[in-house]
Structures are given as C-alpha cells and as structure tokens.
Structure 1
Amino acid sequence: MKVVKFILSLLFGLMFINSGLNKHFNYMPAPEMTEEQMKIFGAFMQITWLMPLVAVVEIVGGLLFIFPKTRALGAIVILPVMVGIVLHHAVMDPGTLAIPLVLFAINLWMIFDNWKKYQALVS
C-alpha cells in the first residue's frame, strides 16, 4: 500500500508542478475553448497577479505532496486549487470531469490518511 500511495503522490505532485510551470513558461498548447471560456480566461488574465499566484501554489503544493513528511501540508495547500479545477470542469465541460475527480479523490485520500496531523488545527 505504501508503494501505491507513493506512486500516486508522485504522479499527482508532478502533474501540479507541470501545471504550475506551464502557467509561467507556456510550453504546452492550450486546449480548445468555447467563447464563454475565453471570456472567463480573459477576466482571469485581467487580474495580473492571479495566475502567477495559482502557479506558485501548484508548484509548492506539488513539491510538498510528493514527499511523505510534507504530504499532509501539500494536500491542504493544493485543496483549494483542486476544488476550483473540479468546479470548472463540472460547470464548463462536464465531459472532461473524470480526471479531475480522480485527482480530487487522491487529494482527499491523502487528507484523510493524514487526519491526525490536522487535529491540532481543528481542536
């Protein structure tokens, strides 16, 4: 089980690191977007600090998620971004919801797996 958890955490972390780096360096082609999606993306680009912030959160959260000692923190750091991804796909493109739901499940698994580490925060 430890090996499965490590492999999933490594892949999850690398996906977020890649996504964050792509926001800075734009090395992957952008997917086709509808007119409504273009408007939303344009609005996000008007807030000049938003995408760089999301990119840094993705990179830092992805790095933290990979290593067992920092995975609990990485899972919490990535959670708001993951919720945004799931909501975006659910509302804008439900046909592409499968992968975000799998990633969200991995994120929640790591949060529940590390629940004892969070007890001091909620008590």
Structure 2
Amino acid sequence: MKHIPTAARLLLGLIFTVFGANMWLHFIPIPPPPEGPAANFMFAIYGSGYLTVVKVLEVTGGLLLLSGRFTNLALTLVGPVVVNIALYHFFLVKGGYEMPVVLGVLSLVALAGRKDYLGTLFAAK
C-alpha cells in the first residue's frame, strides 16, 4: 500500500512529460476541438502564447515528479493544470471526462502520499 502514491506520482509525471513535450515534438496527433466555445478557447490560448507557458509548467512538473526530487513543487505546478483540464472538459467540451478524472485521482493519491506537504499547505499561523 505504501507504493501506491509513488506509482501515482510516476504515472502522473509520465503523463505530463509526454503530453507536454508533444507541443513541440508532435509525436501524438491531436484532434481539433469540437466547434463552439472549446475551439474558441483553444484558439485564444494557443494564439496568445498562454498554452506555451502551460506546457512548460507541465513538462517541468512532470520531470520533477519522475525524478522524485522537489515533489511538493511539482504537485504545486501541475495542480492548477489538472483543475484547468477538468474545467475545460466539464464546461467547454462537455465530454471526454476520462482524462480529467484519471488525472484528478492520480493527483489526489500522489498528494495523499505527501502528508508533510499537506501539513504545511493547510497549517494556520
């Protein structure tokens, strides 16, 4: 049971490293978003350069998760990305819920393995 958070951390790191690096290396074909708000949103963040910053955070967080060093920082970097992926699928695409659910569960399991981080994150002063 003590290895489950480590497995979740490694899988999460692999997902973010691979899909983040795909922005520049183009080894996985990406289907276009469905017409409507999702397409407009993707056009806006891609054209503005915002998506580049998000992908840099994904790759950085993914590599840190894979290395096992600075895991707390890595979880802090990829946490907002997971939330934005979930919000994109739930509110704009209205489908494809598998990926945000898997990412959310993996993030929560990896975070649960970092009890020291949770203590400092929610400590009242």
Class of the TM-score when normalised by the shorter of the 2 chains? 0.7 to 0.9
Cα gap change, 1:43 to 1:14, in 2 (>3 Å): same
TM-score (norm 1): 0.83
Work out which structure has the larger RCO, using CA pairs closer than 8 Å and 6 or more positions apart in sequence. Answer: 2
Q: Give secondary structure in 2 for the equivalent of 1:35.
A: coil
Distance 1:75 1:116 in 2: 13
For residues 5 and 109 of structure 1, the distance between their equivalents in structure 2, rounded to whole angstroms, comes to: 6
CA contact (8 A) 1:20 1:59 kept: yes
Contact 1:12-1:103 within 8 A present in 2 as well: yes
Percent of paired sites with the same residue:
27
TM-score, normalised to structure 2, is 0.82
1:7 counterpart residue number: 7
Q: Residues 10-46 of structure 1, C-alpha deviation per residue, up to 9 Å, x if partnerless?
A: 2211110011111122222112422222222111122
Determine helix, strand or coil for the equivalent of 1:31.
coil
| Alignment size in residue pairs | 122
Cα 1:114–1:29 change in 2 (3 A) is: same
Structure with greater proportional helix content: 1
List runs of 5+ in structure 2 lacking aligned partners: none
Q: Alignment RMSD, CA only?
A: 2.0
- Give, in angstroms, the shift of residue 53 of structure 1: 0.8
Query: Once superposed, which parts of structure 1, at least 4 consecutive aligned residues long, lie more than 3 Å away?
Result: 118-123
